[in-house]
Structure 1
């Protein structure tokens, strides 16, 4: 099986290139040469495909578009006419509702399969014990084989529609990242020295600082796309603002009963998974404290 990874020099592209390399030749096409042992690198702009890229696309069984939001759809549109019938088109964006119609249209025009993937983890962590969202756009045997390879690598594949994906990730990513960055702003506004915070930090604060540092040390474009491109992100941030305002009102007015009701309401929503989550939290805090010492 031959694979072309458009955007193969990026982290997600490289993750998929290494996954699929045991199945056959992998060509990584990007505006800079990908340095992945065993793969063939082509320097090309997928929005304006070069002769080299157009030459390998008809040979590919799978074409992966591991590209940023603003170039993914133009790249799919430009490259799809060169893809052979029966091939699999894959995109890896963190937002699906905008790209899925373009991917579906490209697949229909070429009698191809199509699938959207979203690895819900930093690529450096690897597949093992991590989750991958999958949107089966135009299903078929190559889609099943790809998802099987991801599962065999140790990941959990969770299948969703494009709309379900974006509504869920608005909470999983947009609200989570916004909460962490708001916490960071509160840390800055508080004016406490980082060393003092680390010296005294109880486990919840230390964990929040660790999450904050991971976000601020990551690729800003990824976090920007999550906040801007997801059509449900604004509603998630609005819910976050309202929740903080509610807690502030309860505390400012001395409404202890209302505060207790808030806690019980969230606990009820967590359901029978709450004890499992508390156990995970206890283990997480132990790891963080050990790491600090």
Structure 2
């Protein structure tokens, strides 16, 4: 029986055996964080064909033992975490779940919990407890200060406390939710946010343009948009596919985001400045009207954000053209309109379970919408600056494409669409990853 207040400072023989099934990017992050904290009994595995390479990789990492498969990990571990893609969780748990050690605590680290819950209830023995988790950040972001969701699904308080003790070394902020609450919150803070940046990337790739290297999309809001777009496309496609396709709440929100973009664009085409302003201001009141004025804004100053601009002099876009600085900010107008239509209050999630990307996205939306001068300038640009129409048209088409892709529920289609866009930006990924991490750090510390 594992003590509820066990810590890495206790004698190694008192440590729980921590089992990690799946050593993708997040599994690796968890294994290394636990090893760094001083846990001495960490058992890991991945696909059987990766056994030899994994064993070589971790032969000198303290506390980590590599096993051939999930059966070996499951039968000896006091705490077992499945860190596999949501698309495959059913298959993997059906394979290794029956080998679970009696009295063990089982967890999942999937981004969508509905399939995980079904798999656990279907295949895990009744004599094991279920306390799931989810770190709401990527593998390259430090877990310190970030939300770590804990789901006490089928377990006494003592098992929850054991899981808390294991992960206290992360320095994360524990957030307690149910499976259902988790999927609704993650749809609110992740799925539609990711869809916005996926759409930006597809629109720019469709124009065969790096617009931030032409004088457009430079500085302030644009810096955040470009950095996050590149950061998302430099990650694995399946990280976002499962979250969007397998989460029913996400599908609804992504569809509304596409509809919001299209309906706002129609007002722009009609030259209906009054109609566009009325709709945008109504959304502003619904989303930002109840936010306390004394709360410090999230967004950093433009001078600070200018430090994180991608590219620079001497680089050229594939098209070699020059674009104006004016911007309708259709991506942001559609985001706030989407929140308003779905009665989502994004600030309610800020302290609950905000990811670094969601925090920045709210920040730039707030920066635009709480300034009448900036918002009116965007509305005027949207209606009267025809130089922006091609960009906005590409955005609306891309948004509709991503919405349809998710509604079809096809992982293959999602993968193809993602990788085709990512290939266009691949030459910028190394720079974007380094700069984006620094930007996230600066905003988190502000």
Number of the residue aligned with 2:30:
16
Structure whose alpha-carbon radius of gyration is higher: 2
Number of the residue aligned with 1:101:
118
Structure 1 residues 193 and 94: CA distance shift in structure 2, 3 A? closer
Structure 1 residues 26 and 274: CA distance shift in structure 2, 3 A? farther
- Report the TM-score, using the length of structure 1 for normalisation: 0.84
User: CA shift at 1:86, angstroms?
Assistant: 1.8
User: CA shift at 1:255, angstroms?
Assistant: 3.9
Number of the residue aligned with 2:131:
115
Number of the residue aligned with 1:2:
17
Query: Map of 1:22-61 to 2, 5 A cutoff?
Result: 22-31=38-47, 32=50, 33=54, 35-36=57-58, 37-38=61-62, 39-44=64-69, 46=70, 49=71, 53=72, 56-61=73-78
CA contact (8 A) 1:81 1:110 kept: no
SS at match of 2:130: strand
Number of the residue aligned with 1:129:
145
Higher relative contact order (CA 8 A, sep 6+): 2
RMSD over equivalenced CA pairs, Å? 2.6
Structure 1 residues 102 and 209: CA distance shift in structure 2, 3 A? same
**Structure 1 counterpart of 2:291, from 255, 258, 272:** 272
User: CA shift at 1:275, angstroms?
Assistant: 6.0
Structure 1 residues 192 and 12: CA distance shift in structure 2, 3 A? closer
Verify: 1:66 aligned to 2:91, yes or no: no
SS at match of 2:143: coil
Number of the residue aligned with 2:444:
none
User: CA shift at 1:121, angstroms?
Assistant: 0.7
- Report the TM-score, using the length of structure 2 for normalisation: 0.57
Counterparts of 2:228 and 2:244 in 1: how far apart (Å)?
A: 17
Structure 1, unpaired ranges of 5+: none
Number of the residue aligned with 1:138:
154
Number of the residue aligned with 2:366:
none
1:34-77 CA-to-partner distances (Å, cap 9, x unmatched) read: 63412011233x4xx4xxx1xx5332111111111233222222
Counterparts of 2:217 and 2:24 in 1: how far apart (Å)?
A: 38
**Structure 2 counterpart of 1:241, from 229, 233, 258:** 258
CA contact (8 A) 2:34 2:169 kept: no
Structure 1 residues 181 and 198: CA distance shift in structure 2, 3 A? farther
1:90-132 CA-to-partner distances (Å, cap 9, x unmatched) read: 111111112113213445x241111222211112212112112
SS at match of 1:103: helix
The structure whose residues are more often strand, as a share, is: 1
CA contact (8 A) 2:212 2:218 kept: no
Structure 2, unpaired ranges of 5+: 1-15, 313-446
Counterparts of 2:180 and 2:78 in 1: how far apart (Å)?
A: 27
Structure 1 residues 197 and 203: CA distance shift in structure 2, 3 A? farther
Verify: 1:209 aligned to 2:209, yes or no: no
Counterparts of 2:28 and 2:208 in 1: how far apart (Å)?
A: 40
Number of the residue aligned with 1:282:
300
User: CA shift at 1:246, angstroms?
Assistant: 2.7
**Structure 1 counterpart of 2:202, from 174, 177, 185:** 185
